[in-house]
Amino acid sequence: MICLSGCASSKPVESENATQSIVIGFSQSGTESSWRKRHTESIRTELEKEGYEVLYRNGYMNQDRQIQDIRSFIVYQVDAIVFTPLQEDGWEAILEEAAQAGIPVFVVDRHVSVNDSSLFLTHIGPSFKAEGNRAGLYVSNYFRGQSNTTINVLELTGLDNTSPTQLRSEGFRETIQRDLAQNNVTIQVQDAIGGDFIRRKGKEVIETYIKEGKMASIDVLFSHNDEMTIGALEALEETDIVPGKDLIIVTIDAQKEMIDNLKKGLVNCVVECNPEAGVFVKNAINRYLKRGADAIPKEIYVHETVFSSDMDFSQIPPRNY
């Protein structure tokens, strides 16, 4: 194993055959969705293909467990830590431990909220705000042309205190509000209910919402991930509401099952959240090893797109998650 202590250095740190003995600790937050499983696979595969030794730990959606996993990497003196945080807060102390040990930290997918941004080298992930913007844009385009109408949205949010939940909400609201000024259509978020990014929870909260008699006034369901949308669709099966027609559904991730639902007309718009982070992580680590910390941008975005019911489905690339 090569010791990369002094990791914040801007000096190149790679020798000719350095990748052969470099150990990367990879702490994943959980396995709550097909998206997450593909995300894990993508990172592990790319790093292993590159010849890195990967120590993988699953946090099972438990922050304390993830902290222990990262501590075990520090004790092991890994050369770099790749870390996908369960939530934003609560990482300061463990990241300080990593910094003191001179181990660079690559934050992937969700973001961390820390006062000292030098505690991580870079953040690699989607623009969650742009995903929310795309969802909002679909809704405002869908209702464009109507006038003096109020469209009620039910937002099914992800786990609290996470960047995807906060930024998808923010991006969505920003776009529907911007559109408000231009058209005479009022699009408003009537209610926001939490489903933690989990299918079962998504189903439960939608069932409760239906039982409370609130679903009748909802025109659009904006769901923060496909797993919760699948749960919501199951709950809707018990009603007369026809998904995709009586209720416009916009969902995020683009898992294979949801693209199939789009083709069947059960949902109207699928905003992609790209889980293929592996190549970006591998490139960032390689670049760091060759050229040092100064060569790494603080934010690295993965590319993403959007799929909707009005498109030519043959253009949708095959999904592997």
* The two three-digit tokens of residue 67, written as one number: 């902290």
197 near ligand AHR, rule: CB under 6 A: yes
Phi, psi of 86 (to 5 degrees): -65, -45
225 near ligand AHR, rule: CB under 6 A: yes
Q: Which window, 20-28, 29-37, 98-106, 184-192, contacts ligand AHR (CB under 6 A)?
A: 29-37
CB of 197 to ligand AHR, least distance (A): 4
Please answer whether residues 259 and 35 qualify as being in contact, where contact means their C-beta atoms are separated by less than 8 angstroms: no
Q: Which window, 3-11, 30-38, 86-94, 135-143, contacts ligand AHR (CB under 6 A)?
A: 30-38
Site string for ligand AHR, 134-163 (x = CB under 6 A): ------------------------------
Pick 33 or 268: Cβ nearer ligand AHR: 33
| Window 235 to 254, contacts with ligand AHR (CB under 6 A) | 252-253
Which residues 6+ apart lie within 8 Å of 85 measured at CB? 29, 66, 91, 107, 109, 110, 111, 112
Phi-psi region of 243 (alpha: psi -120 to 50; beta: other; left: phi over 0): beta
Pick 44 or 287: Cβ nearer ligand AHR: 44
CB of 80 to ligand AHR, least distance (A): 21
Residue 19 sits at the vertex; the CA angle it makes with 15 and 22, to the nearest 5 degrees, is 105
Q: Which window, 28-36, 64-72, 91-99, 307-315, contacts ligand AHR (CB under 6 A)?
A: 28-36
Q: How far apart are CA 61 and CA 65, in angstroms?
A: 8
Give me the half-sphere count of Cα atoms (radius 13 Å) on the Cβ side of residue 67: 15
CB of 219 to ligand AHR, least distance (A): 23
| Window 74 to 113, contacts with ligand AHR (CB under 6 A) | 109-110
Pick 32 or 219: Cβ nearer ligand AHR: 32
Q: How far apart are CA 266 and CA 187, in angstroms?
A: 22
Give me the half-sphere count of Cα atoms (radius 13 Å) on the Cβ side of residue 83: 33
For residue 21, give the DSSP letter.
Answer: G
| Window 258 to 317, contacts with ligand AHR (CB under 6 A) | 273
32 near ligand AHR, rule: CB under 6 A: yes
Pick 36 or 134: Cβ nearer ligand AHR: 36
Q: How far apart are CA 29 and CA 19, in angstroms?
A: 26
DSSP assignments along 235-284, one per residue: HHTTSS--BTTTBEEEEEE--HHHHHHHHHTS-SEEEE-----HHHHHHH
Pick 126 or 289: Cβ nearer ligand AHR: 126
36 near ligand AHR, rule: CB under 6 A: yes
The interaxial angle of helices 63-76 and 92-100, nearest 10 deg, is 0
The dihedral through the CA atoms of 12, 99, 124, 226 has a sign that is positive
Out of 164, 195, 243, 278, the only residue in the binding site for ligand AHR (CB under 6 A) is: 164
CB of 224 to ligand AHR, least distance (A): 7
33 near ligand AHR, rule: CB under 6 A: yes
* The two three-digit tokens of residue 5, written as one number: 């202590």
Binding site for ligand AHR (CB under 6 A): 32-33, 35-36, 109-110, 164, 197, 225, 252-253, 273
